[in-house]
A and B are shown apart, each in its own frame.
Chain A
């Protein structure tokens, strides 16, 4: 069941992207996702796809690992695209049947919405695929340091996050084990209608929670035994450092963002329509 949930699973290849500073990757991922929401033209989407493919190739990730993340939201994408397709009623009518009307505007909006969602998820999935949970937590901790001024317990938050991330696979594994044990006793977890399935999950969820509390208890003792929080001057074994790669990555993504923003706010005002130049009458 959880074998197919690929989002968030680290995929080691040792590529330059994997070696980037986690702070760079965090910030650039945020920038990338925000930029995708500024795309207006099909040219913008094509450019994004090229950028995404470039990153995937440099990261030496198999394209399947990225597509797997998309598979999880495919249904949401299709439903929201379908809703847009039928709800938008302005513009040139392409087809009409009973209460359903499909307009040119509707088609464009639906396609763009689907592309946007797929690109956002693929882009965001690159971060956990190329960065270990520990690196991610370290990066977040560093990025949140300014919040210390207003007495936010940044270190503890980072510790909580890294523990949470660390235990995601453990919990998956544990869930799988308990599910197997209950299935072996004839539990109907993998068939029946949705209500039956939710009911059948209780014999899995209860032991899962009980075991998690037990584990949390043990972990807190182990941390105490190693003097966690005995001093506020904890040092790091691995210190984060920006390198040349980070500058290159930042420059690459910033120029992409600039092109997208130009495409949205500038090109049209000076009379350039790249979509029209590429696709012509197709639109």
Chain B
């Protein structure tokens, strides 16, 4: 069974007013359990609208023709809505702006508490979540989340989501506004979460370098339409498409293009700096032989 199955999804904002916007047009998408999917698209392309359908934050508009199924649950069914939300953990942009409790532990416990777990189970999950995001329980659990640094706040917010131990984790621009070290740390954390906590990860990002390295599949949306659904290599090899939908190439691909222009024979499917380094050193070896 696929983790996520979306059929003919359409969505229109403010229908019948001057603000009308057709945000999603006939989206069909199946995501297998265990995959790491990168969702890319320009600002306002419909990415956020799409992911909010996954846990019923946005209701299906046309139930007759379209459907969203998550782990076999109909996302439009009210009866299973809570269960759905615990299975799809969603980390929104700037998640630290949702912190509210007076201690870090209480904030992380919010999700598990809503799941009506036992007190022991909640405490265990809070401790485990803090450990996974790399924060020291003894030092931080009883502090106020508002006294932490930006990077720590974001970790706490992410811990609040993974404490529900969701099978599917959706992250919307998780590294926006962080410094370079903070970015690296969060990206490493996401990789770890994919391996240890949530088998299926959906990452929405404007940063093509992150997507190229992390995702094993790319779903590109432009003006509400699904325009590509393939591996990062195939996606970025189509330079024209990437440009047309208003996206950047990963740094490695840009360097490759610049080198190719100077006459260095490199293939267009290089997307990460490691691959580029490998290709270049292979060239150098070849020159020596």
Contact = CB atoms under 8 A, between A and B. Distances in A.
Nearest to B78: A191
Contacts of B85: 183-186
Contacts of B42: none
Interface in B18-71: 18, 52, 55, 57
A45 interface: no
B171 to A, nearest CB: 12
A186 B86 contact: yes
A202 B100 contact: yes
A186 B115 contact: yes
B79 to A, nearest CB: 12
Interface stretch (B91-99, B191-199, B213-221, B240-248): B91-99
Given A185-B110, A185-B111, A187-B114, A207 B92 contact: no
Contacts of A12: 18
A283 interface: no
Contacts of B18: 11-13
Given A11-B18, A207-B99, A210-B146, A184 B92 contact: yes
Interface residues of B, number: 27
Interface stretch (A144-152, A174-182, A225-233): A174-182
Contacts of B97: 177-178, 207, 210-211
A181 B92 contact: yes
A184 B89 contact: yes
B100 A183 contact: no
Interface of B: 16-18, 52, 55, 57, 82, 85-86, 88-90, 92, 95, 97-101, 110-111, 114-115, 146, 160-161, 164
17 contacts: A12-B18, A62-B16, A178-B97, A181-B98, A183-B57, A184-B89, A185-B110, A185-B161, A185-B164, A186-B114, A187-B110, A188-B114, A204-B100, A207-B100, A210-B97, A210-B146, A211-B97
The 9 closest A-B pairs by CB, nearest first: A186-B114, A181-B98, A185-B111, A206-B100, A184-B90, A203-B100, A180-B57, A181-B92, A207-B100
